[in-house]
Structure 1
Amino acid sequence: MTDRRAHLDSRAVVLLLACCLLWGLQQIVAKATLPSMPPMAQAAVRSLVAAAAVSAWSAWRGIPLFQRDGTGAAGLLAGLLFAGEFLCIYVGLGYTTASRLVVLLYLSPFVVAAGMPFISRAERLAPLQVGGLVLGFGAVVVAFSEGWGVAGQGQRWVGDLLAVLAAVLWGATTLAIRATRLASASAEKTLFYQLAVSAIALGVASPLAGEAWPARWGAALWGSLFFQSIVVAFASYLVWFWLVRHYPATRLASFTFLTPLFGLLFGWLLLGETVTPRLVAALAGVATGIWLVNRRTVPRRD
């Protein structure tokens, strides 16, 4: 049995903010690394290194990863969904801007919100909470819409379509974890399934797609892969899957609207980009949306 909580407490909020901050850097780092390593190869190495880290961590903590507990089929499904998500993200970054991709990627909370009532009646959203989700997403769109007036060219629509598909796969992964035996598995085992399966799937897909792996690995490439593999795919995802097991999935998903806004803030801090009034308004909208989604409501009688 898992110790589930009906609402987000202060610990959950702090962990979510840390995860969103790291994820805000993820797409920027991945796109910057594309000239040094092609997308599927980059995603495969990321998953492989992170899977090894999870295995070592689990061995040190005495957490069994390979015992038979009936989670094999669910783990394979979650792993394939995870692989598809990051295949779409990394390939999509080669066609569209990171800003557009990250906005479309955060359609994922709507997938979770739409699917969770079929899994847990307790996680139905009240109309005001649905309004909070809509407000949060709208605020993210507003934040990034300033750059959308620049004329795109080539096949940017391909990247946009891949971003939407990645969002659907991300939401489907969260739902698969909650709806199957993985809901009672350890966070380490849940994450290991996804990383190991995706490492194999993406590792096979990369040469089949004709990708050329780099002959020399410089310090920048090593640093990028360390951040993507250890900091994001290992540490932050381990925290995320632990949160999914202990807190309402729809309310966790609402917090991820902060991720693209953190990306803009990092652009200001690291690249000297201007923080406009529209961004400030978007931050206020996201904060309000999160508050609405996480409001305590009186249970309805059926």
Structure 2
Amino acid sequence: MSTAPAALRTRWGGQRALAVLSIVLANVLGGVSYPAQKAALAGLPPATVTLLRNVVALVALAGCVRMRRVAPVAWTRAESLRVVVLGAFAFALPMWLGIVGVERASASNASILILLEPVTIVAIAWLVLGERIGALKLASLSLGLFGALAIVLEGSSLGDLMAGEHFTGNALLALHGILWGCYTPLAKPLCERHDPFDLCLRATAVGVVALIPAALAEAGRIETGPALAPALAWTVALGLAVSFGGTLLWLAALRHIPATNVAGFVFLQPLAGVLVGIGLLGERLSGAALVGAALIVAGVGFDVALSSARKDSDQSADGFT
């Protein structure tokens, strides 16, 4: 009797466990990036923060690609065009819109509107990538969505999103969430053929070029003073931890798990924000936050178990054909 199916399942299990760990860490980094962005905004304007953090990431990526010396897979013209769209409209633009939106709206509203990202991921993955979305998958995503709403709605309500003083910022944040939702389905086919470092380098390079005009337009807002050095430090930290590390983790995970699975993990971002508030700011864990955290963890765990069972079933069927 051949042991090949068992070996394949063991290999898949190891790869999937690493992918799940990577996407969890990537979303935690994404969740804690908002306080870091606010700190950077104390001394630098938004487009400048966004451009500089991506320049830092680009330098780190270029160094890694050079040291790794992995032979790149040839890029087709269609793939190169997809990278341009990915880097400009699903990476640089939502990153900039997000930080501008945070300036013009409340942080709690930002947490609500980022939840448009997983909804967009699921819709595009179903319509464009043809990924299956069954009742159990929708149930796991619903658990995560309800949990995230339980956390972020504690300090605001859905009605606040249309408040006149925050309308512009909320509109930007809504667009930011939808565009981020396009990133995962656009990147998924590229991740399956290309090295994550090479893909991340190309998309980040496109993003840097796309951000230059916005950064130049606000050059007059940059002022020297005591707030500049800390702002630069926070920007470098964002570049290394999130734009470099978080994006690489995201793309590496996307090679092994479906885009619809990634959507469920996005709900970890509001949870990460709550934990940062408790650990660094001394905030109290409320009952609503505790219930929300439990629902998010349950939804993510259910999603992981469901996907693992489905993959094992598919591989078992392949082993007997």
- The TM-score bracket by the shorter chain reads 0.7 to 0.9
Shift of the 41–144 alpha-carbon distance from structure 1 to 2, 3 Å rule, reads: same
Distance 1:251 1:187 in 2: 18
Identify, as 1 or 2, the structure richer in helix: 2
1:191–1:237 Cα contact (<8 Å) kept: yes
Does 2:235 match 1:228?
Answer: no
How far apart are 1:157 and its partner, in Å?
A: 1.9
Does 2:270 match 1:266?
Answer: no
Distance 1:77 1:236 in 2: 20
Does 2:267 match 1:257?
Answer: yes
2:39–2:231 Cα contact (<8 Å) kept: no
Residues 47-84 of structure 1: per-residue CA shift (max 9 Å, x gap): 11111110111001013679654432111111112111
Distance 1:98 1:191 in 2: 28
Pairwise mapping of residues 1-302 of structure 1 onto structure 2 (< 5 A)?
Answer: 9-63=16-70, 69-70=76-77, 71-81=79-89, 82-121=91-130, 123-148=131-156, 155-179=165-189, 181=190, 183-209=192-218, 212-215=221-224, 218-294=228-304, 295=306, 296-297=309-310
2:271–2:293 Cα contact (<8 Å) kept: yes
Residues 172-212 of structure 1: per-residue CA shift (max 9 Å, x gap): 12111224x55412111221122111111112122235652
How far apart are 1:272 and its partner, in Å?
A: 0.9
Shift of the 248–182 alpha-carbon distance from structure 1 to 2, 3 Å rule, reads: closer
Greater alpha carbon shift after TM alignment, 205-214 vs 283-292? 205-214
CA RMSD of aligned residues (A): 2.6
Q: Which residue of 1 aligns with 2:6?
A: none
How far apart are 1:30 and its partner, in Å?
A: 0.3
Shift of the 64–9 alpha-carbon distance from structure 1 to 2, 3 Å rule, reads: closer
Q: SS of 1:146's equivalent?
A: coil
Q: State TM-score, norm by structure 2.
A: 0.83
Greater alpha carbon shift after TM alignment, 210-219 vs 92-101? 210-219
Distance 1:166 1:230 in 2: 22
Instruction: Please tell me the residue identity of whatever aligns with 1:125.
Output: I
Aligned residue pair count: 294
Instruction: Please tell me the residue identity of whatever aligns with 2:239.
Output: S
Instruction: Name structure 2 gaps, 5 residues minimum.
Output: 1-10, 315-321
How far apart are 1:10 and its partner, in Å?
A: 2.6
Instruction: Name structure 1 gaps, 5 residues minimum.
Output: none
Q: Which residue of 1 aligns with 2:319?
A: none
Shift of the 47–218 alpha-carbon distance from structure 1 to 2, 3 Å rule, reads: same
Q: SS of 1:148's equivalent?
A: coil
2:20–2:253 Cα contact (<8 Å) kept: no
Q: State TM-score, norm by structure 1.
A: 0.88
